[in-house]
Amino acid sequence: MTIQSSTSERAILEAAEREFMSKGYDGAKTQSIAKTAGVTHAMLHYYFRTKENLFNQVFKEKTGIMMQSIISAFQDTKGSFIERLQKGIEAHFDFLAQNPDLPRFVINELISKPERAELLKERVKDVAGNIAGKLQKEMKELIAACEINDIKIIDLLLDIASLNLFVFIAFPIVKNFSGFFYKSDKEFLEARKKETTQIIINRLLNKQYAV
């Protein structure tokens, strides 16, 4: 009947992950986490000492995954710029589909306690170095050669982020309406993925209208 340390610790972490992700830091209660994990709540403090500590461990892991997903999505080097961009958007969307509450969690916690940005500074640098640098250079060349429309890299990335992330950030709400137009969540999300790539490529390749 005895439970080994590593098992308890892991159980707590997993329960914490679910609780923090679904309720946020303030909404999560250590007692509830301990209960879900099947241990006394003293165990939680034994392993992690404070709620903040436990949270930070979860937060760090989640932001790490999120940053890594961006690098993975855009690291392919085969094909044209547009082809790679499309593949990247789709890969990132697929990642989000498997981690749908990640963006809302990270954004909320980052905003409610901005100091937490410290915990992912390194990862942000990774992404900036890995993606933004190369991307910017390539885009400048293509823009100069008139192969894609003029656009600042931050605007392109924000367009993609907005379109890819928003559906998931607001999914429980959006879901109420998608049912009128799509048979299933899956079909709806597939359509969103396609729509996002479509709209981004149109932005880059078609002639621009004065706005």
CB nearer to DNA: pick between 53 and 184 = 53
CB nearer to its own copies: pick between 9 and 151 = 151
CB 108, min distance to its own copies, A? 6
Question: Which residues contribute to the site for its own copies (CB under 8 A)?
Answer: 23-24, 26-27, 86, 104, 107-108, 110-112, 114, 117, 151-155, 158-159, 161-163, 165-167, 169-170, 172-174, 176-178, 180-181, 191-192, 194-195, 197-203, 205-209, 211
The closest alpha carbon to 92, from 71, 76, 123, belongs to 71
Return the HEC string of the chain.
CCCCHHHHHHHHHHHHHHHHHHHHHHHCCHHHHHHHHCCCHHHHHHHHCCHHHHHHHHHHHHHHHHHHHHHHHCCCCCCCHHHHHHHHHHHHHHHHHHCCCHHHHHHHHHHHCHHHHHHHHHHHHHHHHHHHHHHHHHHHHHHHCCCCCCCCHHHHHHHHHHHHHHHHHCHHHHHHHHCCCCCCHHHHHHHHHHHHHHHHHHHHHCCCCCC
- 44 to 63: interface string for DNA, x by CB under 7 A: -xx--xxxx-----------
CB nearer to DNA: pick between 41 and 87 = 41
- 4 to 43: interface string for DNA, x by CB under 7 A: xxxxxx------------------xxxxx------xxxxx
Q: Among 3, 111, 154, 161, which residue interacts with DNA (rule: CB under 7 A)?
A: 3
Report what 6 binds from DNA, its own copies, none; CB cut-off 5-8 Å by kind.
DNA
CB nearer to DNA: pick between 5 and 202 = 5
In contact, 156 and 197? CB cutoff 8 Å: no
CB 69, min distance to DNA, A? 29
Can you give the binding site for DNA, defined by CB under 7 A?
1-9, 28-32, 39-43, 45-46, 49-52
